[in-house]
Amino acid sequence: MSGNEPASERSVQFTETELREKLTPEQYQVTQAAGTEAAFTGCYWDTKTEGVYRCVVCDVELFESSDKFESGSGWPSFTQAIDEGRIERNVDRTFGMKRTETLCAACGAHLGHVFDDGPAPTGERFCMNSASLNLIATSDD
């Protein structure tokens, strides 16, 4: 499956006009056209803020800050999703490589890629674009 599935197959649906109004040009390019922000430029690659990372398109909770780690890649990296059912995996053969693309299962937004070179407990590295995420910080109250 790709992020360009017919809207009827997704639980959360937006028109192109709604998406262009809701998202910045970079967020639109990353989430809707499988773009990638440059390494070390996204707002979350080195943040230590505690909280929950949500899909910037549909607001579904995707990753917990407790599962975030410094991978040295320049993108926010996580060992696992909050729930595997919230992430869809798709074979990506662009740029002469074979990778596993990750999409938000609810809305089809491109998030990034997952690799099998991560730390325990999963051995996976979910390498995400900051532009596809929205961090909701945990309250100190």
Please list the active-site residues.
127
Can you spell out the DSSP letters for 24-83?
-HHHHHHHHH---PPTT-STTTT----EEEEETTT--EEEEGGGEE--SSSS-EES--SS
In whole angstroms, give the CA distance from residue 46 to residue 2.
29
Measure Cα distances from 24 to 2, 43, 89, 131, 132 in Å. 22, 14, 25, 9, 11
In whole angstroms, give the CA distance from residue 122 to residue 40.
24
